[in-house]
C-alpha cells in the first residue's frame, strides 16, 4: 500500500472512530482511537486493507465464528475462491496461557515482550505449523499468508459455512483411523505435536478429515511435546469411545506413533 493511501485510510478510520466514540463513550466506555467495533481494532482493519491492496483477498464477506481469542472471517479472493481469515484478537485475549506453547519451542526462541508481539507471533506460529503440515501432504487448510494478527488460509466448507467438525458429524471407524494416522504422520513427517487435538478441531469432509487450529502445535523438541501428544491421544480416544467406536489402548497408540 502506498504511503498516500495509508494516510487516507488512517484519516478515514480516525474520523469514523471519533464520531463513534462520541456516541458510545458513555454506555460502553469506548476508548477513542482504539476499537472500530466490538471485534476489530484499528490496526487489524489496516491489516485487512493491506491484504486487499496486496490482492490476497478482494473483499471480506463477514464473520463466520467468534471465539474468545480469535474470530473467523470469510473472505473472497480475486479468483472467487473462499478464504478463511483467522483474526487473533489483541485487545481481549488472555495470551499468558499461550506462552508455554511458544517459549519451549526452539523455532521461536527470540520472543519479544508484550501482548501484541506475542499475538503476532502466535499467528505466525500457526501459519508455520500449517505450512509444515501442508508441505508433507497432511490434510490441513492450505496456508496462504500471515500478516500481523491475520492468518489467511483456504476455506474448508461452502459459501461461507465451514464443514462440520467431528463433534457435529456421524462418525465411524474410518474417521477414528484417519484421526490416528494424522497424529502419526504429524509426528513422523512434520515433526510436530498438535497440542489441541479434539473433535472440535477436526472437520469431516467428503474427502476425509481436515485438521485445523494448529496454533498450539509444537516441535518435537519442545520439553512438553510428550505430554501434549499423550493428551491429544487421550482426547481423541475418549471421543470415539463415547461414540461407540472400539478404540485401542492409548499407550499402545503412543508407542506406535513415536517408535
Q: Which residues bind ligand ADP (CB under 6 A)?
A: 64-65, 67, 69-70, 72, 84, 86, 141, 153, 155-157, 162, 201, 212-213
Least Å from the CB of residue 194 to ligand ADP = 12
C-alpha cell of residue 172: 465411524
Q: Which residues, 6+ apart, have CB-to-CB distance to 115 below 8 Å?
A: 90, 93, 95
| Beta carbons of 204 and 184 less than 8 angstroms apart | no
213 in contact with Mg ion (CB under 5 A): yes
User: Is 213 annotated as catalytic?
Assistant: yes
Closer CB to ligand ADP, 75 or 176, in the complex: 75
C-alpha cell of residue 156: 474448508
93 in contact with Mg ion (CB under 5 A): no
Which option in Mg ion, ligand ADP, none does residue 105 bind, with CB closer than 5 to 8 A by kind?
none
Residue among 101, 95, 99 nearest 129 (CA): 101
Please state, in angstroms and rounded to a whole number, the distance separating the CA atoms of residues 205 and 208: 5
CA distances from 18 to 6, 42, 55, 89, 214 (A): 18, 12, 29, 22, 37
Count of chain residues binding Mg ion (CB under 5 A): 2
Closer CB to ligand ADP, 47 or 141, in the complex: 141
Closer CB to Mg ion, 148 or 201, in the complex: 201
Pairing status of strand 143-147 against strand 202-205: unpaired
| 3-state SS, one letter per residue, for 136-180 | CCCCCCCEEEEECCEEEEECCEECCEECCECCCCCCCHHHHHHHH
Least Å from the CB of residue 196 to ligand ADP = 8
132 in contact with Mg ion (CB under 5 A): no
Active-site hit among 41, 105, 175, 213? 213
Least Å from the CB of residue 71 to ligand ADP = 8
Fill in the per-residue mask, 144 to 183: x = in contact with Mg ion (CB under 5 A), - = not in contact: ----------------------------------------
Least Å from the CB of residue 86 to Mg ion = 10
User: Is 27 annotated as catalytic?
Assistant: no
CA distances from 198 to 161, 172, 177, 212 (A): 20, 15, 14, 10
201 in contact with Mg ion (CB under 5 A): yes
Please state, in angstroms and rounded to a whole number, the distance separating the CA atoms of residues 3 and 244: 59
Active-site hit among 196, 206, 232, 249? 196
User: Taking CB positions, which residue lies at the least distance from ligand ADP?
Assistant: 67
Residues that bind Mg ion (CB under 5 A): 201, 213
Residues designated as active site: 196, 213
Amino acid at each position: 500500500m502506498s504511503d498516500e493511501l495509508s494516510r487516507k485510510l488512517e484519516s478515514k478510520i480516525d474520523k469514523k472512530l471519533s464520531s463513534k466514540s462520541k456516541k458510545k463513550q458513555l454506555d460502553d466506555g469506548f476508548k477513542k482511537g482504539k476499537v472500530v467495533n466490538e471485534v476489530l481494532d484499528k490496526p487489524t482493519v489496516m491489516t485487512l486493507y493491506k491484504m486487499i491492496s496486496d490482492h490476497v483477498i478482494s473483499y471480506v464477506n463477514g464473520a463466520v465464528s467468534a471465539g474468545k481469542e480469535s474470530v473467523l472471517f470469510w473472505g473472497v479472493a480475486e479468483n472467487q475462491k473462499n478464504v478463511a481469515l483467522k483474526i487473533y484478537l489483541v485487545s481481549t485475549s488472555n495470551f499468558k496461557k499461550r506462552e508455554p506453547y511458544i517459549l519451549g519451542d526452539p523455532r521461536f526462541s527470540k520472543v519479544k515482550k508484550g501482548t501484541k508481539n506475542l499475538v503476532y507471533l502466535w499467528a505466525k506460529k500457526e501459519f508455520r505449523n500449517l505450512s509444515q503440515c501442508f508441505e508433507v501432504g497432511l490434510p490441513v487448510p492450505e496456508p496462504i499468508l500471515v500478516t500481523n494478527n491475520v492468518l489467511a488460509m483456504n476455506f474448508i466448507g461452502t459459501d461461507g459455512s465451514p464443514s462440520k467438525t467431528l463433534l457435529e458429524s456421524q462418525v465411524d471407524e474410518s474417521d477414528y483411523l484417519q484421526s490416528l494416522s494424522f497424529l502419526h504422520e504429524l509426528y513422523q513427517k512434520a515433526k510436530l505435536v498438535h497440542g489441541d487435538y479434539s473433535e472440535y478441531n477436526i472437520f469431516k469432509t467428503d474427502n476425509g478429515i481436515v485438521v485445523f487450529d494448529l496454533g498450539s502445535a509444537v516441535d518435537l523438541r519442545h520439553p512438553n511435546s510428550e505430554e501434549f501428544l499423550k493428551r491429544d491421544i487421550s482426547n481423541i480416544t475418549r471421543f470415539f469411545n463415547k461414540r461407540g467406536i472400539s478404540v485401542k489402548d492409548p499407550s499402545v497408540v503412543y508407542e506406535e506413533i513415536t517408535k
